[in-house]
Amino acid sequence: IAGITQAPTSQILAAGRRMTLRCTQDMRHNAMYWYRQDLGLGLRLIHYSNTAGTTGKGEVPDGYSVSRANTDDFPLTLASAVPSQTSVYFCASSESSGNTGELFFGEGSRLTVL
Amino acid sequence: GQNIDQPTEMTATEGAIVQINCTYQTSGFNGLFWYQQHAGEAPTFLSYNVLDGLEEKGRFSSFLSRSKGYSYLLLKELQMKDSASYLCAPQDSNYQLIWGAGTKLIIKP
């Protein structure tokens, strides 16, 4: 059982470059999320999608974009990376958004922007 | 605003009991989650409380007091593998999780 798969697991990127982090889930969950995790801070929500075809902004959306063309995939794009986007990025999913179900996380993507 | 407060780091001895506290302020409330996160890994679900009281699950228990905006996670019979960060995450009125920075628990032999 794969659950949620993220790629790449680690990437070093030059500032100004475009980067897409991929996220795929096989649990047929409706809701998906992108978080970033930085030392000393809690997980911060970047963007979310309650169902295929819809997306919403989280707490820290600037500099990031997402799309949800189908149920399984939820890529996160950095149009022009900056050093402050150096972080660990986690994709997560839940059965639906408006309930109290647990989140399932991918293994994370460690991004370094130089 | 929304705020989560939990200790940054705690140390305990193998075989002992430890209680990790969490106080929170959120816009509305729809329950509180605890997650465990080992270094370099993804968070994994531990417990969920929506009603006041204690929820027990094996060696782990979680307590909630909605009126006090307070929760704790109790770990019994500590094992070395319990060394991890423990994340408190209440759910606001929009069902969004608000994450604390986590408590790093160090278990010593």
How far away is chain A from the Cα of B70, in angstroms, using its nearest Cα? 18
How far away is chain B from the Cα of A58, in angstroms, using its nearest Cα? 9
What tens digit of pLDDT does each residue of B25-78 get? 998 999 999 999 999 999 999 999 999 999 999 999 999 999 999 999 999 999
pLDDT(A100) > 80: no
Establish if A2 touches chain B: CB-CB under 8 angstroms: no
pLDDT(A27) > 70: yes
Query: Please, what is the average pLDDT of chain B?
Result: 95
Q: B71 forms bridges with which residues in the sheet? A: B22, B64
pLDDT at A99: 63
A44: nearest CA partner in chain B: B99
pLDDT at A98: 63
Establish if B48 touches chain A: CB-CB under 8 angstroms: yes
What confidence category does residue A79 fall into, taking pLDDT thresholds of 50, 70 and 90?
Answer: very high
Establish if A27 touches chain B: CB-CB under 8 angstroms: no
Mean pLDDT of B87-108: 92
| Contact assignment for B101 to A41 by CB distance below 8 Å | yes
A96: nearest CA partner in chain B: B95
* Residue owning tokens 């002992």: B16
How far is it, in rounded angstroms, from Cα B60 to Cα A113?
39
What confidence category does residue A96 fall into, taking pLDDT thresholds of 50, 70 and 90?
Answer: confident
pLDDT(A1) > 70: no
| Contact assignment for A105 to B31 by CB distance below 8 Å | no
In DSSP notation, A3-63 reads: -EEEE-SEEEE-TT--EEEEEEESS--SEEEEEEE-TTS--EEEEEESSTT--EE-SS-TT
Neighbours of B17 (CB within 10 A): 12
pLDDT(A102) > 90: no
pLDDT at A39: 87
pLDDT(A97) > 70: no
pLDDT(A58) > 80: yes
Q: What is the CA radius of gyration of chain A?
A: 13
pLDDT at A40: 83
pLDDT > 70: percent of chain A: 95
